[in-house]
């Protein structure tokens, strides 16, 4: 992050600084990003290798791990506000031109890849691709091509709306508590509507796409954005409160799981329906979990990062590769589970559980990283992975290296001779 430095007044409220200054890199965001993406990928591996529809334990885990998707959008709000809150020369069009291309091209390219592989090739319809482009257009219009692509679809919406979010946060400076309070009340209404309202027929076909819009994530986006403005005050508030956060996690997690079990055992709901991401009783846990992850990452960055250089390098690497791995991992997971044995995927039938899920997760991460390292070195890496192209590794040829060393030595001797003469 290389934009402007925030100058702070009072309780850590950022004011507009000259655009020429350089902003401090926040290393704890790398750890948050790496952790969040790793857990999102784990959730996908878990649900694809177990009974995601009727298993109570599996859906208990996925219920709590819904905080990862919310952390993803809270982090987006934090980063965008951190980079732009104090920019006097912020221009919406320039922001869109710079940001949207990093998402829209990977979104379209990988949506096409998932559609061709999973929907067409896997079902013996590869020759129908030219005549089925309308089907692809429908999938792209809702983030349905690849079950993780809605993340990018929502991110595009966040980028489009960010100038409005920036204006709102700037305008309400000094009243951000009221802003978050109003947003939270709105979020409660949104979750109640998504979970309990049965829409009339004219809109029911569209209503179920709510998860692929920015609306259910408006609170966490503002949560992250406001946290960026008040990050030092937030850091001071969270410092030394580890046990309070652990206690809050237990209480709010207990509320979320307890009400989930009531819906299953008393209400008779199917576990997958009772563990949806927009349960109102899950909101407290989401807020506390995001704050706890932020506090833990901040503590590591402040106290331990300098003493754990290898781990710090791993975190930096994982953060840099996280978006690309996210794009690729579902394709790797698809091919891992495609070979079938009697009763299910060969890998799971061979290893059994829980080893099947754990090995699948490790192989998905490793395979996704391997594919990504190739893609990052190809022309067009920016469009494939959202990241600039990396240089190809240099190949050392022993004979050529010897010639270069001789030339370098000869040049150095000549330089020494010139220095001697000039002296």
Please give the average per-residue pLDDT across 293-308, as a whole number.
96
Alpha carbons 225 and 165: distance in angstroms, whole number: 8
Which residues on neighbouring strands pair with residue 345, listed in sequence order?
Answer: 340
What is the pLDDT, as a whole number, of residue 14? 46
Q: What is the structure's pLDDT at 202?
A: 83
What pLDDT was estimated at residue 17?
Answer: 46
The alpha-carbon radius of gyration of the chain (Å, integer) is 25
Residue with tokens 């791990």: 65
- 70 pLDDT band, cuts 50/70/90, is very high
Nearest residue to 70 via CA among 44, 36, 104, 28: 36
Strands 7-9, 344-345: pairing kind: unpaired
* 4 contacts 21 by C-beta, under 8 angstroms: yes
Across residues 344-373, what is the average pLDDT?
97
Query: Predicted confidence band at 393 (pLDDT cuts at 50, 70, 90)?
Result: confident
Whole-number pLDDT of residue 318: 97
Q: For the full predicted model, state whether its pTM sits above 0.75.
A: yes
What does the pLDDT average to over 296-313?
96
Share of the chain above pLDDT 90, in %: 84
Residue 38 reports pLDDT greater than 70? yes
Query: Can you give the residue ranges of every domain in the chain?
Result: 7-392, 398-423
| Res. 58 pLDDT band, cuts 50 70 90 | very high
pLDDT at 306 over 90: yes
Q: Which residues lie closer than 8 Å to 41 by C-beta, 6 or more apart?
A: 325, 326, 329, 361, 364, 365, 368
**What per-residue confidence (pLDDT) applies to 204?**
86
- Which of 408, 278, 409, 331 has its CA nearest to residue 149? 331
**13 has which bridge partners?**
9
Mean pLDDT on 56-80: 98
Lowest mean pLDDT among 17-26, 104-113, 177-186, 388-397: 17-26
pLDDT confidence of residue 373: 97
Label residue 106 exposed, middle or buried (CB < 10 Å: 0-12, 13-18, 19+): buried
How far is the CA of 16 from the CAs of 7, 85, 90, 173, 353, in angstroms?
7, 7, 11, 12, 55
- Confidence band for 372, pLDDT divided at 50, 70 and 90: very high
Tell me the pLDDT band of 23, cut-offs 50, 70 and 90. Answer: confident
**What would the pLDDT profile of 164-218 be if each residue is shown by its tens digit?**
999 999 999 999 999 999 999 999 999 999 999 999 888 888 999 999 999 999 9
Q: Which token pair is 179?
A: 């802003």
Residue 392 reports pLDDT greater than 90: no
Average pLDDT, the chain: 90
Q: Give the pLDDT of residue 342.
A: 86
Please state the rounded mean pLDDT for residues 128-145: 96
Bigger pLDDT: 263 vs 13: 263
């Amino acid at each position: 992050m290389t934009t402007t430095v925030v100058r702070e007044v009072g309780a850590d409220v950022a004011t507009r600084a000259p655009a020429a200054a350089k902003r401090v890199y926040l290393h704890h965001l790398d750890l948050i990003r790496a952790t969040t993406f790793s857990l999102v990928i784990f959730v996908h591996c878990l649900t694809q290798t177990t009974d995601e529809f009727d298993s109570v334990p599996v859906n208990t885990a996925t219920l709590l791990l819904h905080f990862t998707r919310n952390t993803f959008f809270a982090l987006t709000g934090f980063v965008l506000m951190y980079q732009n809150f104090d920019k006097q020369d912020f221009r919406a069009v320039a922001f869109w031109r710079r940001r949207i291309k990093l998402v829209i091209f990977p979104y379209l390219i990988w949506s096409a890849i998932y559609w061709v592989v999973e929907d067409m090739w896997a079902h013996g319809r590869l020759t129908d691709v030219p005549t089925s482009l309308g089907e692809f257009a429908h999938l792209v219009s809702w983030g349905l091509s690849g079950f993780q692509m809605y993340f990018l679809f929502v991110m595009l919406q966040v980028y489009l709306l960010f100038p409005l979010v920036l204006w709102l946060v700037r305008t309400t400076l000094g009243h951000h508590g009221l802003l978050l309070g109003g947003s939270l009340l709105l979020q409660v209404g949104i979750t109640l509507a998504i979970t309990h309202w049965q829409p009339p027929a004219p809109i029911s076909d569209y209503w179920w796409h709510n998860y692929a819009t920015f609306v259910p994530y408006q609170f966490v986006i503002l949560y992250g954005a406001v946290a960026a403005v008040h990050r030092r005050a937030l850091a001071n508030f969270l410092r030394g409160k580890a046990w309070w956060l652990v206690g809050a996690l237990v209480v709010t997690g207990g509320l979320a799981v307890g009400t989930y079990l009531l819906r299953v055992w008393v209400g008779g709901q199917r576990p997958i329906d009772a563990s949806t991401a927009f349960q109102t009783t899950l909101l407290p846990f989401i807020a506390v979990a995001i704050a706890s992850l932020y506090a833990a990452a901040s503590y590591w960055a402040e106290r331990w990062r300098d003493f754990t250089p290898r781990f710090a390098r791993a975190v930096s690497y994982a953060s840099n590769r996280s978006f690309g791995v996210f794009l690729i991992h579902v394709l790797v997971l698809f091919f891992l589970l495609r070979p079938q044995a009697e009763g299910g995927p060969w890998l799971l039938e061979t290893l059994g559980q829980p080893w099947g899920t754990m090995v699948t997760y490790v192989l998905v991460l490793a395979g996704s990283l391997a594919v990504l390292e190739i893609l990052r070195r190809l022309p067009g890496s920016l469009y494939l992975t959202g990241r600039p192209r990396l240089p190809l590794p240099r190949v050392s040829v022993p004979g050529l290296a010897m010639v270069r060393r001789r030339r370098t030595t000869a040049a150095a001797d000549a330089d020494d001779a010139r220095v001697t003469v000039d002296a």
